[in-house]
Amino acid sequence: MTVTADEATEAAPGPQADWVHIAREVADDLATDAVEREQAGKTPLDEVTRLRGSGLLSLLVPAEYGGGGADWRTACTVVRTVAAADGAIGHLLGSHYFLSFSARFFAGPGQVARIQGESAAGQWCWGGGIAAHEPPLMLIPTADGHLLDGYQRFATGVGIADRLLVRAFRSGTGEPLAVLVDPARPGVVTGSGGDTFGQRLAAGGSVEFDSVPVAADDVLGSLSPDEGVLSPFACLAAPTARLVSAQFCLGVAEGLLDEVREYGRVVKSPWQPFSAQPWPDGPPQDPHALVAYGELAVAARAASALADQAVEALLRGLGRGEALDDEQCAEITVLAGAAEAAASRAVQDITTRALDAIGAPAASSRLGFDRFWRNARTHTLREPLTHRLREVGDYYLNGTHPPFTLPV
């Protein structure tokens, strides 16, 4: 995929743009050389330039701040569409949407307006991570702001991000805070993602902060899981992130199913015995293959239906704003957790068993079917299925509200 200078600087679509259509065009572009790009594993500068030129990076920013004015229903569809063509870029885009939207959960109104306006104007791509799994970064107050110190082992998009959103602890109080950082500042040192077998184009890696200046207005707000610190509306950050994860998984599963289906229509089934008789023309009729495709299609559609239900619940919760109560937030969080668990299970099953339907040819590096499994497994290793299932079970059995936890 090659991006011209004209494409990189073209004006973003207006708020009435058909974002799903734009996402399909981007996905079609990514699909043309997805295998070659994934195997090369280069920093996705061209891919991010393509996203920037399409206007998709500012899709969730309200129109009054210069953005696309779309909602999370549209954003989820866009993430799934892009992930079906290129899982790593879909993951990068989904993380960007969550991180860039997080200001609305944790920052004050003035900060939100400023950040969204600047993000849309600059078509920022956001990276970083605000989960509690990382070693603590320290935020040290100074006379005119703060200094940020510490090391984060893994953050999404560090190789290409215009802004990083990270979790840091305020020196003295230990309160965890969401902090916005310009990676171009002196003292920010990013590293590669190492030798992971998947997500090679997600531009993930380590990031170190050595006395990095942070303005007071770039400290967005608390990430404390302690009861009563965050409003139920702010706690919607957790199910929002879960649903981004689910959309990535569904996109990867559907992308592989589509490619395997096209391959299976023209290539002999591995289960069909060889015979002196020529293979009959017409659609494949091998019963084993048909059952396998049927089971995988059911798994994908079932997980998709649950994810759609959870997205609608999230939209209702976001619409309630500060009127949202704890029980409503818990219901949305549990439903999003169930959707993520179903999508995680579906993508792991589909990216394994769909290759069985192809047989030995699925191992060909030329076909690149393995990239779907590797991208999915790299993601699901960071978010074990058992954590979501335990939270869902505890809620349905005991009425226990899930803790406020953000995914890696």
Token pair of 87 as six digits:
């899982």
Contact 179, 165 (CB under 8 A): yes
Domains observed in the chain = 5-125 (1.10.540.10), 128-222 (2.40.110.10), 234-271+283-398 (1.20.140.10)
Token pair of 305 as six digits:
């239906």
Alpha carbon 274 to chain centroid distance? 44
Token pair of 30 as six digits:
């990514």
- The DSSP code sequence of 328-344 is HHHHHHHHHHHHHHHHH
Q: What is the DSSP letter of 160?
A: T
Q: In this predicted structure, what is the pLDDT of residue 227? A: 87
Kindly report the pTM of this predicted structure: 0.91
- Could you tell me which residues are beta bridge partners of residue 141? 146
Alpha carbon 149 to chain centroid distance? 27
| Euclidean distance between CA atoms 160 and 140, whole angstroms | 26
What are residue 302's phi and psi, to 5 degrees?
-65, -45
**Residue 129, phi-psi category: left (phi > 0), alpha (psi -120 to 50), beta (remainder):** left
CB neighbour list of residue 149: distance below 8 Å, 6 or more residues apart: 137, 138, 140, 209, 210, 211, 212
| Euclidean distance between CA atoms 155 and 176, whole angstroms | 17
| Euclidean distance between CA atoms 224 and 177, whole angstroms | 8
Q: What is the DSSP letter of 185?
A: S
State the Cα torsion 104-108-113-117 to the nearest 10°: -70
User: Tens-digit pLDDT profile for the chain (408 aa)?
Assistant: 544 434 444 444 554 569 999 999 999 999 999 889 888 888 899 999 999 999 999 999 999 999 999 999 999 999 999 999 999 999 999 999 999 999 999 999 999 999 999 999 999 999 999 988 777 899 999 988 999 999 998 888 888 999 999 999 999 899 999 999 999 999 999 887 656 777 778 778 889 999 999 999 999 999 999 988 999 999 999 999 999 999 999 999 999 999 988 877 766 656 555 444 444 555 556 777 788 889 999 999 999 999 999 999 999 999 999 999 999 999 999 999 999 999 999 999 999 988 887 777 777 788 888 899 989 998 998 888 888 899 999 999 999 999 999 887
| Euclidean distance between CA atoms 13 and 8, whole angstroms | 13
